[in-house]
Structure 1
Amino acid sequence: MIDVRSLTKRYGSTVAVDGLSFEVRRGQVTGFLGPNGAGKSTTMRMILGLDRPSEGTALIDGTPYGELRNPLRKVGALLDAKAVHGGRSARDHLLCLAQSNGIPASRVAEVLALTGLTAVARRRAGGFSLGMSQRLGIAAALLGDPEILLFDEPVNGLDPEGILWIRTLMRDLAAEGRAVFVSSHLMSEMAQTADHLVVIGRGRLIADTGVDEFIGRSSQAYVRVRAPRLPELARVLGGNGGPNGAGTRVEVSLHGDHLRVTGMGAEAVGEAAAGAGLALHELTPVAPSLEAAYMELTQDSAEYTGARA
């Protein structure tokens, strides 16, 4: 387990990470989300002992990474796919890591096969594409058969087949009881891969929750309604702030051949229409996507935003 407590990192007057506390548990994929500049990479570097915290702790099963006796057997990580000696072959790069960590040389062939690099094992890593470099970085992370894995943007440069492969790999690793901690900007991938989310913005924790619970926080859920008398139905639904005068704020908007209704559930919409004698052709609850929930909940935490056209 990764246990982060009150983790803080300052660079002069700049606070990159501000009092973060969370856990990454075994048996699940934990997605690490946040806008550019939120402090995700800095947090991962502190977990791996590459940066020293200004305050707080980051422990691996109760031990700082720097005090682990055989770190690659405990923790595997991919932070920078290009952090490889360009003159070495993929095989030699992995063999050096194996020899320096007491890992059998036979494991090198296993991870090369697992990551699809056997055919290019003797090619120089400096000539690899970004996607191939990502696979080599993942092979290095898996080399010690570790219990805990950290991946920073692992799908960068991968083609669709590669993205499906890494998604399946992370799910399989978690199913084996390992802790998998992965940062990504691809919300569609996180929606299909992660069990749990840690979301930060401006170095601070925004959410530490399951994927479904995080999406449920979004106000962008709505009910799609099609009916032959849309204008009249819109007046009925938005007329009194909610069914039975409950005071719930209801918003109704027309989108071509249907209405979008927020603030009122599908059952309440159906009852209101029935009470007004209005027929319905469609009544569909639409849940927000992870991307929509993420954009809504982090909109005030983005460091870099472009102007709208």
Structure 2
Amino acid sequence: MITVENLTKVYGSTVAVDHVSFAVRPGVVTGFLGPNGAGKTTTMRMMLGLDRPSDGSVSFDGRSYAQLGAPLRHVGALLDAKWVHPNRSARSHLRWLAASNGIARRRVDDVLGMVGLTEVAGKRAGGFSLGMSQRLGLAAAMIGDPAVLLFDEPVNGLDPEGIVWIRNFMKQLAAQGRTVLVSSHLLTEMSLTADHVVVIGRGRIIADCSIGEFTSSARQTVRVRSPQLQQLGDLLVHNGIGVRADDRVDGPPAIVVDGATTEQVGDLAARNAITLHELSSQTASLEEVFMTMTADSVEYRAPHG
């Protein structure tokens, strides 16, 4: 189990991580989400002792990373897939890591097979694609057969088959009772992978809940098409129901209704002899929920127009 308590990191006048507290429990995949600049990587670096916190602490089953003897046997991490000497082969890189923590050499071939790199084990890591480097990083994280795993954007550079593979890989690790924390900007992928999410924005925790609770906060709307769209829209507004134009650029004009069910919209249209060509209930996607939740926490925005 990972316990993060009051974790803070200040650079001059900038507060990168602001009194963050959360727990990552074994047996589930926990997604660590947030916009660019939210503090995800800084938090993970502090967890591993790569950056010194200004305040707060992180413990792995009650001990800090610095207190772990042979830490690769307890905590495995993938923060930077390209963190490997380019002239070393994949096998040599893993043998070096194994030797540094007193891990048997035979484990190297085990993890190479685990991530599908056996056939390229003797090739220079500097010539690997980003996807292959990600797999090597996963092998390095697994070298000590640790109970706790931290992955930062582990599907970067992987093709669709590789993404499905790593999704199942992380689920298997959690099913074995391991503690798995994974950061990602691929929200749809996280909805298929994570059991729990911790959302951070501008260095502060915005949400800490199950994936079901996170997605259940999605707004329900009703999409309507009608040859009498203006008349229907006026009626809905007159009845105190929110209406806005559908922002889709393709297809015929439509409106989106907030705060009413399909039954309420249909009944109102029927009472006023309004023809409907479409009446459908919609749920905001995970991306829309995330964007709404982190709207005030985005550091950089694209210009409009």
SS in 2 for 1:209: strand
Note the alpha carbon deviations across 1:4-45, whole angstroms, 9 max, x for none.
111001122221100001111112111111121111111001
Give 1:264 deviation, angstroms.
1.3
**1:294: Cα distance to partner?**
1.2
**Greater alpha carbon shift after TM alignment, 252-261 vs 137-146:** 252-261
AA at the equivalent of 1:251? V
Partner of residue 159, structure 1: 159
1:142-291 aligned at under 5 Å gives the runs 142-219=142-219, 221-227=220-226, 229-242=228-241, 250-253=242-245, 256-278=252-274, 280-291=276-287
- Give the letter for the 2:138 counterpart: I
Amino acid at match of 1:222: T
Q: Which residue of 2 aligns with 1:247?
A: none
Scaled by the length of structure 2, the TM-score of the pair is 0.91
Task: Verify the 8 A CA contact 2:47 2:65 in the aligned structure 1.
Answer: yes
- State the secondary structure of the residue aligned to 1:154: coil
After TM superposition, the score normalised by the length of structure 1 is 0.90
The letter for the 1-side match of 2:75 is: V
8 A Cα contact 1:134 1:157, kept in partner:
yes
**Residue 56 of structure 1 aligns with which residue?**
56
Distance 2:42 2:66 in 1: 16
CA distance in 1, matches of 2:24, 2:196: 9
1:25 maps to 2:25: yes
Distance between the aligned counterparts of 1:110 and 1:285, measured in 2? 49
CA distance in 2, matches of 1:239, 1:114: 62
Residue type of the alignment partner of 2:286: L
Question: Aligned partners of 1:208 and 1:267: how far apart in 2?
Answer: 34
**Gap runs ≥5 in structure 2:** none
For the residue of structure 2 that corresponds to 1:155, the secondary structure is: coil
What is the alpha-carbon distance in structure 2 between the residues aligned to residue 179 and residue 265 of structure 1?
41
Distance across 1 between alignment mates of 2:227 and 2:195: 41
The corresponding residue for 2:294 is: 298
> Relative to 1, partners in 2 of residues 1:267 and 1:27: Cα closer, same or farther, differing over 3 Å?
farther
Deviations 1:144-197 (A, max 9, x none): 221111111111121222112111211221222222111111122112211211
Judge conservation of contact 1:236–1:276 (CA < 8 Å) in 2. Answer: no
Shift of 1:283: 3.2
Q: 1:87/1:163 Cα in 2 relative to 1: closer, same or farther (>3 Å)?
A: same
Q: Which runs of 4+ in 1 moved over 6 A?
A: none
CA distance in 1: counterparts of 2:56 and 2:261, whole angstroms: 44
Specify the alignment match of 1:136 in structure 2: 136
Q: Give the conservation status (yes or no) of the 8 Å contact 2:218–2:283.
A: no
Counterpart code for 1:265: T
Could you tell which deviates more after superposition, 223-232 or 294-303? 223-232
Counterpart CA distance in 2 for 1:179 and 1:230 is 52
Q: Structure 1: 5+ residue runs without aligned partners?
A: 243-249
Paired position in structure 1 for 2:124:
124
Letter matched to residue 14 of structure 1: T
CA separation in 2, counterparts of 1:116 and 1:57? 36
1:69 alignment partner, SS class? coil
Aligned residues: CA RMSD:
1.9
| Correspondence for 1:15 | 15
User: SS in structure 2 opposite 1:286?
Assistant: strand
Q: Tell me the amino acid that sits aligned with residue 307 of structure 1.
A: P
Equivalent in the alignment of 1:89: 89
* Contact 2:233-2:243 within 8 A present in 1 as well: no
Q: Is the 8 A contact 1:117 1:136 kept in 2?
A: yes
Percent identity between matched residues is 60
Equivalent pairs, count: 301
Shift of 1:218: 4.4
